[in-house]
A and B are shown apart, each in its own frame.
Chain A
Amino acid sequence: MITLYKHEWKTYFITSIGYIFLAVFLALSGFIFVVNNLISRTSDLRGFFFMSSYVWLLESPVPVMRLMAGERRRGTDRILHASPVSVTQALVAKYLAALSLSLLALVLSLIFPLVVQIYGGVHWPEVWMGYIGLFGYFAAHLALNLLVSSFAQSPAAAFTLSLGANFLLRLFAGLSAQGTSLINRIASLVDFDSRLTPFIYGQWSPASFVYFLCFAVLCVSLTVLLLGLSRRRRA
């Protein structure tokens, strides 16, 4: 599993997808930071964190789009399936590599609070909570994208499906605040935003963090299960 993890991690930077992903993430986050903090001359980073979650809706398909679909398109999935590595190990290794890339993006985005620190003051416990919340949020979205994209035949299709899933989930979760019917309650189960909000306000919310982790584990487990089933059918 460590071998596969290292392989995936290296591949991000050999194929330049990793650089592109980080550059776009930092550029969009930087734009939000400039508009939200520098132009407004405020050290309040809550708006920055909130808008970063929107950036993630657009960006999260990138690290996962080639993990399975890329292998399938090139036929290298056969190398993995014929190797003494279980489907679970392979998927977890790939997921952790994507998660590490997301973590790196978050770490690099610390430059923005540091800029605020230089020119003013930052309440660091609040910032750390914001980052922890974003990490959980990113982890859940990545797992969802892994699930959705695992059955696509090409990275482009995987990207499109993941992007669609992210926005559909966001729209559906929006129903949770509009009533108490069964649909509204179901929508609240996938409402990531309401779980992210306490972190953005600097509060530690163990329930929300566990929710994000459980959602991620559920999606990765479902992907393992469905890929296992597809091996019984595939040509």
Chain B
Amino acid sequence: MRKQVSIECTGLYKSFGPKTALRDVSFQATGAQAIGLLGQNGAGKSTLLNILAGIILPDKGEALINGQSMTEAPVTTKENVGYLSETAPLYDEMTVKEYVRFLIALNRVKKADRQRHYDNLIDLCNLGDAQNRLCGNLSHGFRQRVALCGALCGKPDVLLLDEPTTGLDPSQLIDFRRLIDTLSQSHIIILSSHTLSLIESLCSRVILLNEGHKVLDRSLKQNNGLRQYLVKLNTIDRVALPILRQLPSVKRVTTLPQEGGKGCWLVESDMGDKFPHELFAALSARHIALLTLTPMRQSLEDVYLAHLAGGKQP
């Protein structure tokens, strides 16, 4: 049985000369999931991934993978981490087969298991036809695929993917999505990307960095899970507002301009499923007609822009 995978980052700081790339970044993740890492260029995404991969060391703070510290036991901790760099560096003079076999051996897979592991990886990454091609002759899409295959060598529990879809054509992108979707069932995947639609479709959680600060860390399911409702009632603000506000699942109510004498409100609920039931019960008890109840979907783009404009969130 596969062990429970986890990442725990506590108070990570990293500076490069006068520039502080990460400031007090903490988060944790337990169990298989895909986490989207968002932020503008220079926000600290690659630095965070490099620290988690053990490529650079933090100035302060600690990164634990499956409970092991990347600072204190880097070699054993790295056995649990696969890292795909943005530029997908490969040894151009090696064939795909040589490259993947080299990484399998480098990741200390037992000799008896190597051939099976190699076959599985080649199947998973759909590289069967490219095995004997030189890495230096591969197209960008294939290079990304080979680099991802390399990141999976050694059966890591955690996959760190730094802008892995840059330059992929649509069909390669579809393949890549499928692959990540499959892998997210058994791995913690941290996926850094500027493509919000990719994050939205693949990830269950998103972390947003801005100027080295973590400004957002929330579940995307929750975000897309009907947290905002447009409510239209056959009554006026003075009557409806107290009713809406006293519902336990309601967090905030914003009064919108009236439409033809009918009141309109935007309701934010932190218990999305309960709110409609509570609303129906409250309205029927007061004989108020519910004209419209529309769940509002806040896109990741809205969230992204709102938080970047808003700056740091405690």
Residues of A within 8 A of B (CB): 3-4, 7, 11, 14-15, 74-76, 78-79, 81-86, 231-235
Contact = CB atoms under 8 A, between A and B. Distances in A.
A78 B57 CA distance: 13
Given A3-B102, A86-B74, A86-B75, A76 B93 contact: no
Contacts of B91: 11, 74, 76
Contact of A14 (B55, B78, B94, B105): B94
19 contacts: A3-B106, A7-B102, A11-B93, A74-B91, A75-B89, A76-B89, A78-B89, A81-B53, A82-B54, A82-B81, A82-B83, A83-B78, A83-B103, A84-B76, A85-B75, A86-B74, A231-B57, A234-B16, A235-B21
Given A14-B94, A15-B93, A83-B103, 6 more contacts: A3-B105, A79-B89, A79-B150, A81-B53, A83-B78, A234-B56
B141 interface: no
B87 interface: yes
B108 interface: yes
Contacts of A79: 89, 103, 150
A231 B71 CA distance: 12
Interface residues of B, number: 33
Interface in B74-92: 74-76, 78-79, 81-83, 85, 87, 89-92
A84 B75 CA distance: 4
Contact of B78 (A4, A15, A82, A231): A82
B164 interface: no
A148 B283 CA distance: 79
B154 interface: yes
Interface in B21-69: 21, 47, 53-57, 59
B83 A78 contact: yes
A81 B81 CA distance: 12
B101 to A, nearest CB: 10
Interface centre among A11, A76, A82 (most CB of B within 10 A): A82
Interface of B: 16, 21, 47, 53-57, 59, 74-76, 78-79, 81-83, 85, 87, 89-94, 102-103, 105-108, 150, 154
A151 to B, nearest CB: 16
Contacts of A86: 74-75
A11 B135 CA distance: 14
A217 to B, nearest CB: 21
Interface centre among A4, A7, A76 (most CB of B within 10 A): A7
Nearest to B58: A232
Contacts of B93: 11, 14-15
Contact of B89 (A74, A85, A231): A74
A81 B54 contact: yes
A13 to B, nearest CB: 10
Nearest to A79: B89
A233 B16 contact: yes
A15 B81 CA distance: 30
A84 B108 CA distance: 8
A154 to B, nearest CB: 15
Complex A-B, nearest 8 residue pairs according to Cβ-Cβ distance, in ascending order: A75-B89, A82-B83, A3-B105, A84-B78, A81-B55, A82-B53, A84-B79, A76-B89
Contacts of A15: 93
A232 B82 CA distance: 21
B78 A235 contact: no
A98 B83 CA distance: 28
B55 A83 contact: no
B263 to A, nearest CB: 55
Contacts of A82: 53-55, 78, 81-83
A83 B56 contact: no
B310 to A, nearest CB: 28
Contacts of A81: 53-55
Contact of A232 (B56, B85, B87): B56
A1 to B, nearest CB: 10
A87 to B, nearest CB: 9
Nearest to B151: A82
A231 B94 CA distance: 27
A232 B47 CA distance: 12
